[in-house]
Amino acid sequence: MTLTLVGLSHHVAPVELRERVALDAAAARALAARFGDAVCLSTCNRTELYVDGAAEGDVVAALAEVAGEPLDGVLYRLHEEAAALHLFRVAAGLDSLIPGEGEILGQVRSAYEAARPGALLDHVFRQALAVGKRVRTETAIGESPASVSSAAAALAAQVFGELRGRRVLLIGAGRIGELAAGNLSARGAEIAFVANRTVDTARELAQRFGGEPIALSEIGSRLGEIDVVVSSTSAPEPVLVAADVPARRRRPLFFIDIAVPRDLDGAIAKLDGCFLYDIDDLEAVVAETLAGRRIEAARAEQLVADEAARFRTWRASLDVVPAIASLRARAEEIRTTELAKVDGRVTDDERRTLESVTSQILNKLLHLPTVRMKEAAVSADGATYADAVRHLFGLEEER
């Protein structure tokens, strides 16, 4: 078993590249299935493949195929404990664009549940989910703004200074759109319109915030009535292009595109009075919130480091546990064989005494070697100890 991670994220790849490898749930599941024992985690800020035993080159090639271009220079490749530590940090929200953001833990869970991981991946993902939950309950790293949606609202507030009375057109009525609406409304903005491919879905969200549901085709005609557009659909192509934006405006129009792939045509930024921000622009908002989170982040990092140490111990034990089991099985086989030689020559009471005494002798003889092998498991000597035991007791020949 060999844990390998190959991926890219907002740390190394711009949104233009990330959107080409962003996969929906079905596509992520299909990509993981190509490697058998694998989990694919794909969000707006990362696409990562965790595999057990697959050739690293094949994983790199698969991601390049998805991107439609070589990914040299932007992929990170991690193995064993480093890969596990990375996953733990991801689940804890420590590797996110918005440190401490809450959505990522659910995304890790969904990726895990969509796959069919073997023993190694199952163990490491269960650990990741556990440490992610601990970080959220035992630290305050998730305080606002702790998500892309809340950061978008904070960015809008920075631009306007005051959101009270500002009218918002929300494109996308999914979970991210709902969170964005809540954050904007909490800052005093008015959710004037909710546009969605399915108008009934838009109506449900619009009614909660006193807005009006509209179809995607109506967006252009409503832009003259609003101040802010926040878009968060899962559409594979832009839902609003520059040609749909009215040429003459009496007031600035602020666009926030938090979708990957992007919903809004980049040419919108070139129009007079229009200001377009995408998900990468939220980094400035994040930077201003980091100072207050550093102590909590340090506590979260310690929880993650502790979990990584536990993974290292467990992973190393896989080298020695089979050797310990084989040694004990071999010793028990010898004990049983020798006891069989006295069958019919001793009484039942004597037989029980021999069983007890020989069992105690065996356990005492094997106790110290077992302890020493388990201690060695957490160091680089673990595999060496296991190999030595197999050689000394002829366990390889047995296998």
CATH number at residue 250: 3.40.50.720
Nearest residue to 57 (alpha-carbon basis) of 71, 47, 40: 71
Looking at the structure, do residues 130 and 154 belong to the same domain, yes or no?
no
Q: Which domain holds residue 357?
A: 319-398
Asked which of 216, 240, 272 is the last residue of a domain, the reply is: 272
The length of the chain, given as a count of residues: 399
Looking at the structure, do residues 52 and 91 belong to the same domain, yes or no?
yes
The answer to whether residue 292 sits within a structural domain is no
Please check whether residue 211 is in contact with residue 191, taking contact to mean a CB–CB distance below 8 angstroms: yes
The answer to whether residue 304 sits within a structural domain is no
Please check whether residue 163 is in contact with residue 154, taking contact to mean a CB–CB distance below 8 angstroms: no
Question: What does the alpha-carbon distance between residue 226 and residue 232 come to, in Å, rounded to a whole number?
Answer: 17
The answer to whether residue 312 sits within a structural domain is no
pLDDT at 381: 66
Give me the residues of the chain with pLDDT under 50, please. 399
- As a dihedral over the C-alpha atoms of residue 384, residue 387, residue 392, residue 393, rounded to 10 degrees, the angle is 140
- The token pair at 347 is 């009484």
Asked which of 80, 107, 138 is the last residue of a domain, the reply is: 138
Looking at the structure, do residues 159 and 254 belong to the same domain, yes or no?
yes
The answer to whether residue 291 sits within a structural domain is no
The answer to whether residue 314 sits within a structural domain is no
Looking at the structure, do residues 152 and 264 belong to the same domain, yes or no?
yes
Looking at the structure, do residues 7 and 129 belong to the same domain, yes or no?
yes
Distance set, CA 377 to CA 173, 192, 313, 383 (Å): 51, 62, 7, 7
Looking at the structure, do residues 360 and 394 belong to the same domain, yes or no?
yes
Q: Max Cα separation, the chain? A: 108
Per-residue three-class SS string for the chain: CCEEEEEEECCCCCHHHHHHHCCCHHHHHHHHHCCCCEEEEEECCEEEEEEECCCHHHHHHHHHHHHCCCCCCCCEEEEHHHHHHHHHHHHCCCCCCCCCCCHHHHHHHHHHHHCCCCHHHHHHHHHHHHHHHHHHHHCCCCCCCCCHHHHHHHHHHHHHCCCCCCEEEEECCCHHHHHHHHHHHHCCCEEEEEEECCHHHHHHHHHHHCCEEEEHHHHHHHHHHCCEEEECCCCCCCCECHHHCCCCCCCCEEEEECCCCCCECHHHHHCCCEEEEEHHHHHHHHHHHHHHHHHHHHHHHHHHHHHHHHHHHHHHHHHHHHHHHHHHHHHHHHHHHHHHCCCCCCCHHHHHHHHHHHHHHHHHHHHHHHHHHHHHCCCCCHHHHHHHHHHHCCHHHHC
Nearest residue to 135 (alpha-carbon basis) of 109, 100, 108: 100
The answer to whether residue 306 sits within a structural domain is no
Please check whether residue 149 is in contact with residue 179, taking contact to mean a CB–CB distance below 8 angstroms: yes
When divided into structural domains, the chain yields a total of 3
Cβ burial of 45 (10 Å; 0-12, 13-18, 19+) is buried
pLDDT digits (tens, 9 = 90+) for 138-179: 887 776 555 677 778 888 887 888 889 899 999 999 888 888
Please check whether residue 336 is in contact with residue 354, taking contact to mean a CB–CB distance below 8 angstroms: no
Question: What does the alpha-carbon distance between residue 257 and residue 244 come to, in Å, rounded to a whole number?
Answer: 16
The answer to whether residue 259 sits within a structural domain is yes
Looking at the structure, do residues 263 and 332 belong to the same domain, yes or no?
no
Question: What does the alpha-carbon distance between residue 372 and residue 242 come to, in Å, rounded to a whole number?
Answer: 69
The alpha-carbon radius of gyration of the chain (Å, integer) is 29
pLDDT digits (tens, 9 = 90+) for 350-393: 999 999 999 999 999 989 888 887 777 766 666 677 778 778 88
Looking at the structure, do residues 163 and 114 belong to the same domain, yes or no?
no
The answer to whether residue 313 sits within a structural domain is no
Looking at the structure, do residues 69 and 106 belong to the same domain, yes or no?
yes
Asked which of 98, 120, 138 is the last residue of a domain, the reply is: 138
Amino acid (1-letter code) at residue 160: F
- The catalytic residue positions are 44
Looking at the structure, do residues 41 and 108 belong to the same domain, yes or no?
yes
Looking at the structure, do residues 251 and 348 belong to the same domain, yes or no?
no
pLDDT at 91: 95
Looking at the structure, do residues 9 and 119 belong to the same domain, yes or no?
yes
